[in-house]
Amino acid sequence: MLSLEGVETFYGPLQVHFGVSLRVEPGEIVCLLGGNASGKSTTMKVILGLVKPRAGRVVFDGRPISGLPTPEIIRRGIGSVPESRRIFPDMTVRENLLMGAYTRRDRDEVRRDYERMLELFPRLRQRLNQRGGVLSGGEQQMLAMARALMGRPKLLCMDEPTMGLSPLFVDRVLELIRRVNQQGVTVFMVEQNANLALQIAHRGYVLQNGHIVLEGAAGELLGSPEVRDAYLGGGDGR
């Protein structure tokens, strides 16, 4: 469904990615793991077209999308849950949700999806007319997920979905990711928290200093010493 092929990116003189390749198959939950400054979040930006790769390409649904403007990539069926949620702070929860369906014209279907989201995320129903900015971190994360799903994406991209959440909400968000996936949405998530992400993911990749150093089934990676080394032992600079 999604593949990165030999992606290289730079921020000014600083190279972030050194030939990163990865694949996400339909129906999967794939997580991209990595410690500080490994280039995880930039990978997400590359997929969403917010950062243009200098070499390599991104293919979605059989067609290359690298180089397309972000709105066009969204329109092709990628939903984004950005890092630190990025809820529109001065819009109500309802408006935030409907902004997620911005690219859609099928009003009746949008209305139905809207109701479905409120069933899936019951907590949002009580907050419909509150400003997004006053929600707690966990509520914002749910709103961000619901907002992305309102676009009926084929692929849901989540950047650090558990960051800064209390343990209770972390579990709930993971449960929701699993449930959404069971309803047929492919999920690609970037996570620092390897132990959590690998519990719900099918497969995982480990990124270290801009290189994919490890990939495998979630069960193999969970608790493996290599993952631990990738996080803790990055001193050789790779």
Rounded Cα distance between 80 and 78, Å, is 7
- Considering beta carbons, is residue 25 or 162 the nearer one to another protein? 162
Name the one range near another protein by CB under 8 A: 19-27, 51-59, 68-76, 211-219. Answer: 68-76
Per-position b or e across 40-51, b if 16+ CB within 10 A of its CB = bbbbbbbbbbeb
**Given candidates 23, 57, 86, 211, which one binds another protein under the rule CB under 8 A?**
86
User: Using the rule CB under 8 A, is 163 a contact of another protein?
Assistant: yes
Taking each helix axis from N to C terminus, what angle separates 167-182 and 107-120, rounded to the nearest 10 degrees?
A: 140
Task: Supply the minimum distance, in Å, between the C-beta of residue 214 and another protein.
Answer: 13
- Considering beta carbons, is residue 114 or 231 the nearer one to another protein? 231
**Given candidates 27, 122, 128, 217, which one binds another protein under the rule CB under 8 A?**
122
The site for another protein, by CB under 8 A, has a size of 61
Name the one range near another protein by CB under 8 A: 23-31, 56-64, 91-99, 211-219. Answer: 91-99
Residue 131 φ/ψ, nearest 5 degrees: -70, 145
User: Using the rule CB under 8 A, is 178 a contact of another protein?
Assistant: no
What is the DSSP-derived secondary structure letter of residue 153? Answer: -
Residue appearing with tokens 């397309």: 68
198-227 positions binding another protein, by CB under 8 A: 199, 227
Name the one range near another protein by CB under 8 A: 20-28, 53-61, 180-188, 229-237. Answer: 229-237
User: Using the rule CB under 8 A, is 67 a contact of another protein?
Assistant: no
Rounded Cα distance between 224 and 214, Å, is 11
Name the one range near another protein by CB under 8 A: 57-65, 165-173, 182-190, 212-220. Answer: 165-173
Name the one range near another protein by CB under 8 A: 1-9, 52-60, 83-91, 212-220. Answer: 83-91
Alpha-helical regions (H) of 122-204? 122-125, 137-149, 167-182, 194-200
Rounded Cα distance between 223 and 11, Å, is 33
Q: Per DSSP, which regions of the chain are E strands?
A: 2-11, 14-24, 29-33, 55-60, 63-64, 78-81, 155-159, 186-191, 203-208, 211-217
Give burial (CB, 10 Å; 0-12/13-18/19+) of 91: middle
Taking each helix axis from N to C terminus, what angle separates 167-182 and 137-149, rounded to the nearest 10 degrees?
A: 10
**Given candidates 70, 106, 115, 182, which one binds another protein under the rule CB under 8 A?**
70
Interface positions with another protein (CB under 8 A):
12-15, 35-37, 48, 50, 69-71, 74-75, 80, 82, 86-91, 95, 98-100, 102-103, 122-123, 126, 147, 151, 162-164, 167-168, 170-172, 174-175, 191-197, 199, 227-228, 231-238
